């Protein structure tokens, strides 16, 4: 079975976006080279996104604006799958368009494919929370920025049953940041 890896940039107090949905805290980490993400992309062949994150990504990654980004070539070569009940198509600039799926059963089927590398889920907080609740997330990778927002949109689900996680790795990242990797505890 293929693994599904969720990666999110968060503040030290766990927010993936500010109170207004803004991502200004990214400025604290923007100067950090993404060499380890280039390495991560060697282990994945599919990018899974929710509709909102797809719209953000599609407006930047498959465009000329991203041409100088070291990660762009690898990212644009990934198979794109968008989970959405509202989108009918997922164009990706001059690249192969993404496949739109409607529900978590489609993600379950994607993970069950016999061939292929890991699947990366970037951002897409609502989708992540749904996938985590039903046990489809194999790794939670957080890139923690040395910023405290005090309020905003949490990357994590609220309410419901607690989800136990086991630490895989923790190490310094960027200037003052930390990369942490967890896998769900055995259920």
Q: Residue ranges of the domains in the chain?
A: 4-184
pLDDT band of residue 39 (cuts 50, 70, 90) is: confident
Task: Please say if the pLDDT value at position 45 is more than 60.
Answer: yes
How much is the mean pLDDT over the chain?
90
Please give the torsion angle defined by the CA atoms of residues 10, 97, 70 and 126, in that order, rounded to the nearest 10 degrees: 0
In the beta sheet, which residues pair with residue 44? 118
Identify the band that residue 160 occupies on the pLDDT scale cut at 50, 70 and 90: confident
Higher-pLDDT residue of 181, 65: 181
**Residue 31 pLDDT:** 57
> CA 43 to CA 138: how far, in whole Å?
14
How far from 133 is each of 52, 81, 144, 160, 186, CA to CA, in Å? 20, 20, 22, 8, 14
CATH class of 4-184: alpha beta
Closest CA to 182 of 149, 142, 151, 153: 142
| % of the chain with per-residue pLDDT over 70 | 95
Write down how long the chain is. 187
pLDDT digits (tens, 9 = 90+) for 5-30: 999 989 999 898 888 877 777 776 66
Say how far apart CA 96 and CA 78 lie, in whole Å.
Answer: 9
C-alpha 79/C-alpha 151 separation (Å) is 34
- pLDDT category of residue 33 using cuts at 50, 70 and 90: low
């Amino acid at each position: 079975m293929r693994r599904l890896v969720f990666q999110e940039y968060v503040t030290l107090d766990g927010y993936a976006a500010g109170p207004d949905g803004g991502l200004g805290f990214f400025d604290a980490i923007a100067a950090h080279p993404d060499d380890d993400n280039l390495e991560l992309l060697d282990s994945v062949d599919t990018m899974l996104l929710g509709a909102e994150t797809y719209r953000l990504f599609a407006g930047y990654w498959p465009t000329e604006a991203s041409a100088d980004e070291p990660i762009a070539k690898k990212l644009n070569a990934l198979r794109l799958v968008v989970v959405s009940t509202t989108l009918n198509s997922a164009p990706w600039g001059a690249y192969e368009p993404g496949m739109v799926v409607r529900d978590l059963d489609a993600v379950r089927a994607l993970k069950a494919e016999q061939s292929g590398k890991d699947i990366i889920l970037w951002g897409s907080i609502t989708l992540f929370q749904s996938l985590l609740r039903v046990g489809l997330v194999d790794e939670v990778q957080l890139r923690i920025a040395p910023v405290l927002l005090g309020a905003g949109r949490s990357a994590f689900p609220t309410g419901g049953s607690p989800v136990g996680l086991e630490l895989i790795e923790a190490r310094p990242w960027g200037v003052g940041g930390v990369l942490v990797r967890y896998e769900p505890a055995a259920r």
